[in-house]
């Protein structure tokens, strides 16, 4: 084995051992007193159990699709569906927030302990108790009137009263994808990156943990951006962009201003155009498909769980846009909705900020200035803080 390959193999082995370092044994006792021993691992210091453990004591049958990253578990008359890197599961078609993502580790799906100790009660139809000290998981008889966990209702304010601790900041485009290009050659990807890094610094000063989808001139696939946010179990997803007018000379001369989007069906031609512009980045991922039928792609992939964050995403967009409108030398175009691919699949409030029209010569000139980029970042952070106050949520370590 070559030295470099040997080094990489050793590094991978160390990483795998580190992830499994917290391995413990959990004893599952079924209603008839029979015992099964399962291995429990800790991911980000939270206990997980393998989904394969359901096939024994719970008398379940499961199927796993490696292509879709999805597992389906069947019990008599009931069903459970989970996906890798997803914080949600579905029980009999209803969505439940596990708050910790399902993990794919060494070819097997691992679910947070809460799935086994709480969320399986309505699925299994019997009591379940877990003793953390002895690590014994007991499957008892019928529940003694204990209410099942509540499904996440559409537009129910699912994050109300929770803290915002982790934010994913997504500087749009990057690497081989320059994004829109201004009249004098200013590249959108460069503006987005500086704004994103400045926003990261401000949010960290507010006590928040910030994860960047990119922190240099790197290309990141659109789907990989929200996948990262889901994997990190982030509380908020913010994608930073610049807008651009169609190539018609009249439109490029007149269209200007900032606007903030959330994911939903586009209501206006301008919204559809903005989404088409940003979605065009998929051509760098799939050269054969390019932007073919993007509307279908966006909404075939749209999962019903995302709908529950529609209200929060819309609210967050309102507060951010209000701050942008009052802080920047650009006219405010308000809040809009459209089918942005990068927002698709985000299991958290998610917005896309179009800070200005890079295609407009005056706004391009302003976007070249670091002071303008600083003001954009400050406005987004201010909007997030106002959103948190509105929803009575703590920010970071408050």
Q: Look at residue 283 in the predicted model and tell me its pLDDT.
A: 46
Segment among 182-196, 223-237, 318-332 with least mean pLDDT: 223-237
Q: Does the pLDDT of residue 312 top 90, yes or no?
A: no
Helices (H), 147-210: 188-205
Q: Which among 55-64, 330-339, 382-391 has the top mean pLDDT?
A: 382-391
Residue closest to 390 by CA, chosen among 157, 155, 199, 211: 157
Q: Write the pLDDT tens digit of every residue in 168-208.
A: 999 999 999 899 999 999 999 999 999 999 999 999 999 99
pTM: 0.59
Q: What residue ranges in the chain does DSSP mark as E strands?
A: 24-29, 35-43, 46-50, 61-65, 70-75, 78-83, 88-91, 94-97, 103-105, 108-112, 128-131, 136-139, 166-171, 209-212, 236-243, 258-263, 332-338, 350-357
Instruction: Give the three-class secondary structure for 273.
Output: helix
Segment among 164-178, 255-269, 324-338 with least mean pLDDT: 255-269
Sheet holding 166-171, edge to edge: 209-212, 166-171, 236-243, 350-357, 258-263, 332-338
Q: Does the pLDDT of residue 254 top 60, yes or no?
A: yes
Question: 142 or 122: whose pLDDT is higher?
Answer: 122
Structure tokens at 181: 């290009």
Q: Which residues make beta-bridge pairs with 164?
A: 395
Q: Write the pLDDT tens digit of every residue in 131-170.
A: 888 888 887 654 444 444 444 443 333 444 468 989 999 9
Segment among 249-253, 292-296, 355-359 with least mean pLDDT: 292-296
Q: Give me the chain's average pLDDT, please.
A: 75
Q: Which domains does the chain have, with CATH numbers?
A: 22-139 (3.30.457.10), 166-390 (3.40.630.40)
pLDDT average, residue stretch 302-325: 77
Sheet holding 108-112, edge to edge: 103-105, 108-112, 46-50, 35-43, 24-29, 136-139, 128-131
* C-alpha span between 373 and 396 (Å, rounded): 24
């Amino acid at each position: 084995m070559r030295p470099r390959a040997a080094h990489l193999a050793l590094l991978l082995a160390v990483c795998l051992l580190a992830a499994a370092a917290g391995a413990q044994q959990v004893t599952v006792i079924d209603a008839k007193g029979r015992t099964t021993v399962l291995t429990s691992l800790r991911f980000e210091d939270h206990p997980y159990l393998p989904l394969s453990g359901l096939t024994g004591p719970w008398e379940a049958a499961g199927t796993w699709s490696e292509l879709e990253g999805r597992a389906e578990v069947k019990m008599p008359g009931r069903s459970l569906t989970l996906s890798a890197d997803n914080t949600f599961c579905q029980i009999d078609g209803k969505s439940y927030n596990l708050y910790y993502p399902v993990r794919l580790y060494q070819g097997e799906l691992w679910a947070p302990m809460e799935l086994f100790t709480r969320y399986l009660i309505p699925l299994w139809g019997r009591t379940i108790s877990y003793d953390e000290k002895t690590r014994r998981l007991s499957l008892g008889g019928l529940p003694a009137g204990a209410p099942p966990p509540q499904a996440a209702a559409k537009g129910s304010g699912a994050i109300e009263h929770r803290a915002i601790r982790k934010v994913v900041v997504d500087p749009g485009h990057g690497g081989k994808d320059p994004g829109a290009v201004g009249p004098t050659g200013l590249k959108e990807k460069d503006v987005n990156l500086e704004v994103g890094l400045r926003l990261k610094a401000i949010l960290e000063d507010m006590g928040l943990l910030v994860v960047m989808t990119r922190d240099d001139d790197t290309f990141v696939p659109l789907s990989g951006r929200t996948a990262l946010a889901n994997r990190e179990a982030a509380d908020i997803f913010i994608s930073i962009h610049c807008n651009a007018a169609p190539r018609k000379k009249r439109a490029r001369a007149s269209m200007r201003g900032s606007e903030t989007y959330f994911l939903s069906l586009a209501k206006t031609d301008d919204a559809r155009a903005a989404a088409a512009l940003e979605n065009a980045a998929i051509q760098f991922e799939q050269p054969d498909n390019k932007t073919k039928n993007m509307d279908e792609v966006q909404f075939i992939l749209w999962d019903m769980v995302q709908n529950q964050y529609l209200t929060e995403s819309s609210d967050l967009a309102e507060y951010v846009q209000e701050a942008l409108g009052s802080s920047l030398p650009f006219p405010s175009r308000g809040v809009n909705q459209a089918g942005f691919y990068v927002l698709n699949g985000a299991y958290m409030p998610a917005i896309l900020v179009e800070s200005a029209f890079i295609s407009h010569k005056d706004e391009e000139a302003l976007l070249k200035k670091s002071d303008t980029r600083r003001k954009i970042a400050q406005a987004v952070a201010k909007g997030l803080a106002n959103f948190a106050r509105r929803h009575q949520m703590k920010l970071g370590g408050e």
